[in-house]
């Protein structure tokens, strides 16, 4: 784990006009605004234009203008100053190494040092680095075969964007194979590796399949739980199902959180060596099936590969956290039938507690999640719970191809997805003053009256 030091020298934050003004606390903003007035605004405008045209090879500390700006920044001390998006010093970093490759085929060495070095040279990214998450997801490069497939994928993606906006996470949507042989369920590994290199500022890369969606927009990843014993990979799964039942569904590899560190680089190298890019790919399918009798298809897959590694080396449990306490992802067929009761329960809670009903800016939504927690003590977690399930995963529904698993009726899949999307969307739309009264009717909303849902039959 990398816990970058907080830079000593405050001026290293190189407060560029744009970000420091935009992120100031209100009181500071109004003081500064009244005090310095239009002249400052004009200066800021000039400076931000200048900052686009002049390469940032030095910090304009000496000038009178920057002194004014520094003074303002110090006067309005921020605990978590904005990151500086316009600053990349000329110092050599791993990006300048010609040998370095983003490809999953080429091993990465000394990544922890490289990342740490980069963070040292970009001190504005140091505060909060430990909790920084980049969500990565994606889909194929061609249009979906299912006529409503692209529409569904768009809504699944919108759902992820909503979640990330509420929690301040970045998101990357990839729709091209980064390694031509690593297709379908293997495609994520090359993307996750590339995302680690592209985001040295992030401690975690969070892969979420295109057919999984957030259905509790307030719930926040309990990252401290995974820091506590330095776990580097988090998946939804159960130890017993790996070592006793030997099931290929002992965990689900469609959603995982992986720490941006050397261990993960090494682990993904080993993991992907069971995939189609490897000369040994053919042998892995039969090996996986010899251990996991419920695996029906012949080819080696990423999920069986991951379980197989854990099965072979129980020591990996020190680094891999099998999250079974909440729906880190959950099977849609279990979850979808519970949405109506959950909605009812949450509405009851809001009727009882005015704090939960209070209208608020979307930006401060997390606080209302915290307010709700004491009411959810009895709700339980996971299966049988009336807590909103964190992630609902439409495994087997194949929204893009439409070739859903034949054990389901297509209608069950499509209606389930629509219901889940609107269930999630209602949590977002509330902040915009509207709600879908019918979860199966995506096109209709009603305005939520003041103090909703205190009055009226909801
Ligand atoms: C919803 O709640 C009702 C009443 O408590 C209960 O009978 C029903 O089984 C619940 N439905 C589900 C799917 O949990």
Which residues lie closer than 8 Å to 331 by C-beta, 6 or more apart? 393, 395
How many other C-beta atoms lie within 10 A of the C-beta of residue 204? 24
Name residue, tokens 């297709």: 183
- Take atom 1 of ligand 1 and give the residue whose Cα is closest: 341
- Please name each of the domains of the chain with its CATH number: 1-100 (no CATH), 128-210+220-323 (3.90.550.10), 330-447 (no CATH)
Q: What is the mean pLDDT of the chain?
A: 87
Residue minimizing CA distance to atom 5 of ligand 1: 341
Instruction: Residue count of the chain, please give it.
Output: 458
Say which DSSP state 421 is in.
Answer: H
pLDDT digits (tens, 9 = 90+) for 199-253: 999 999 999 999 999 999 999 999 999 999 999 999 999 999 999 999 999 999 9
Tell me the C-alpha to C-alpha distance, in Å, between residue 286 and each of 241, 298, 300, 403, 437.
20, 7, 8, 25, 50
**CA-386 nearest atom, ligand 1:** 14
Q: Is 212 helix (H, G, I), strand (E, B) or coil?
A: strand
388 in Cβ contact with 362 (< 8 Å): no
Alpha carbons 225 and 233: distance in angstroms, whole number: 12
Residue 35: exposure state from Cβ atoms within 10 A (0-12, 13-18, ≥19): exposed
CA of 383 to the centre of ligand 1 (A): 13
Report the run of H or E that residue 255 belongs to, with start and end. Answer: strand 251-259
Q: Is the CB–ligand 1 distance for residue 337 below 6 Å?
A: yes
Question: What's the 337 CA to ligand 1 centre distance in angstroms?
Answer: 9
**Which one, of 320, 129, 309, 314, lies nearest residue 232 by Cα?**
320
pLDDT value at 325 more than 90: yes
* Choice between 62 and 444, residue whose per-residue pLDDT is larger: 444
- Tokens representing residue 394 in the block: 């439409």
Per DSSP, 46 falls in state: H
CB of 385 sitting under 6 A from ligand 1: no
CA atoms 421, 423, 428, 434: torsion sign: positive
Q: Which among 262, 10, 227 has a CA at the least distance from the CA of 116?
A: 262
Confidence at 44, pLDDT banded by 50, 70, 90: very low
pLDDT digits (tens, 9 = 90+) for 71-120: 444 455 554 568 999 999 999 999 999 999 999 999 999 999 999 999 99
454 C-alpha vs ligand 1 centroid, how far in Å?
Answer: 23
Tokens describing residue 409: 């009726």
158 contact partners, CB below 8 Å, separation of at least 6: none
User: Which numbered atom of ligand 1 lies nearest the CA of 338?
Assistant: 13
Nearest 10 degrees: Cα torsion 253, 257, 260, 264: -30
Indicate whether 12 pLDDT > 70.
no
Closest residue to atom 7 of ligand 1, CA basis: 341
Indicate if the pLDDT at residue 300 is higher than 60: yes
Mutate to test the pocket of ligand 1, among 336, 340, 341, 439 (most ligand atoms within 8 A of CB): 341
Question: Which atom of ligand 1 is found nearest the CA of 337?
Answer: 13
Model pLDDT, residue 40: 45
Q: Give percent of the chain with pLDDT exceeding 90.
A: 80
Whole-number Å distance between alpha carbons of 214 and 220: 11
Tokens of 94: 């791993």
Q: Is the CB of 110 under 6 A from ligand 1?
A: no
Does residue 383 line the site of ligand 1, with CB under 6 A? no
DSSP states of 324-369 = -SS-SSEEHHHHGGGHHHHHHHHHHHHHH-HHHH----GGGHHHHH
Question: If you measure from the C-alpha of residue 349 to the centroid of ligand 1, how many angstroms do you get, rounded to a whole number?
Answer: 17
Whether residue 344 has its Cβ less than 6 Å from ligand 1:
no
- Ligand 1 pocket residue status of 348, Cβ below 6 Å: no
What is the per-residue pLDDT for 26? 36
Ligand 1 geometric centre to CA of 60 (Å) = 65
Three-state DSSP state, 44: helix
Ligand 1: atom nearest CA of 340 is: 1
What are the pLDDT digits (tens) for 255-276? 999 999 999 999 999 999 999 9
What confidence category does residue 413 fall into, taking pLDDT thresholds of 50, 70 and 90?
very high
Check if 252 has its Cβ closer than 6 Å to any atom of ligand 1.
no
Farthest CA pair distance, the chain:
74
CA distances 310 to 75, 233, 252, 396, Å, are 53, 12, 13, 24
CA 341–ligand 1 middle distance (angstroms): 6
């Amino acid at each position: 784990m990398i816990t970058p030091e907080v830079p000593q020298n405050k001026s290293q934050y190189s407060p560029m006009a744009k970000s420091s003004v935009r992120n100031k606390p209100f009181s500071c903003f109004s003081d500064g605004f009244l005090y310095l007035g239009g002249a400052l605004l004009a200066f800021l405008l000039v400076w931000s234009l200048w900052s686009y045209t002049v390469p940032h090879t030095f910090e304009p500390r000496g000038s009178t203008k920057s002194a004014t700006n520094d003074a303002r920044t110090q006067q309005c001390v921020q605990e978590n100053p904005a990151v500086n998006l316009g600053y990349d010093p000329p110092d050599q970093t791993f990006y300048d190494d010609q040998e370095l490759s983003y490809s999953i085929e080429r091993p990465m060495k000394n990544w922890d040092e490289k990342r740490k070095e980069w963070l040292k040279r970009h001190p504005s990214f140091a505060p909060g680095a430990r909790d920084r998450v980049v969500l990565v997801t994606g889909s194929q490069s061609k249009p979906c075969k299912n006529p409503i497939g692209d529409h569904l994928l768009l809504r699944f993606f919108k759902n992820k964007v909503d979640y990330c906006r509420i929690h301040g996470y970045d998101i990357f949507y990839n729709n091209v194979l980064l390694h031509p042989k690593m297709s379908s369920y293997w495609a994520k590994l090359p993307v996750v590796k590339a995302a680690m290199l592209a985001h040295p500022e992030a401690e975690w890369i969070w892969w979420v399949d295109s057919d999984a969606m957030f259905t509790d927009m307030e719930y926040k990843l309990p990252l401290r739980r995974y820091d506590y014993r330095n776990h580097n990979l988090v998946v939804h799964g159960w130890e017993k199902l790996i070592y006793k039942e030997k099931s290929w569904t002992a965990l689900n590899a469609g959603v995982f959180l992986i720490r941006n560190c050397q261990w993960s680089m090494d682990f993904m190298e080993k993991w992907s060596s069971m995939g189609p890019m490897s000369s040994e790919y053919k042998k892995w399918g039969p090996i996986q099936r010899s251990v996991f009798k419920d695996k029906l298809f012949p080819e080696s897959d990423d999920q069986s590969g991951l379980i197989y590694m854990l099965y072979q080396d129980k020591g990996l449990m020190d680094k891999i956290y099998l999250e079974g306490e909440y729906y880190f992802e959950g099977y849609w067929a279990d979850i979808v039938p519970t949405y109506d009761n959950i909605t009812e329960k949450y509405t009851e809670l809001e009727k009882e507690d005015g704090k939960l009903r209070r209208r608020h800016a979307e930006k401060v939504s997390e606080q209302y999640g915290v307010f709700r927690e004491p009411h959810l003590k009895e709700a339980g977690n996971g299966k049988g719970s009336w807590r909103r399930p964190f992630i609902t995963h439409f495994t087997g529904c194949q929204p893009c191809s439409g070739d859903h698993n034949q054990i389901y009726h297509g209608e069950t899949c499509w209606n389930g997805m629509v219901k889940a999307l609107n269930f999630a969307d209602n949590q977002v739309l509330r902040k915009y003053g509207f709600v879908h009264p019918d979860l199966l009717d995506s096109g209709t909303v009603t305005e939520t009256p003041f103090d909703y849902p205190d009055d009226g039959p909801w």
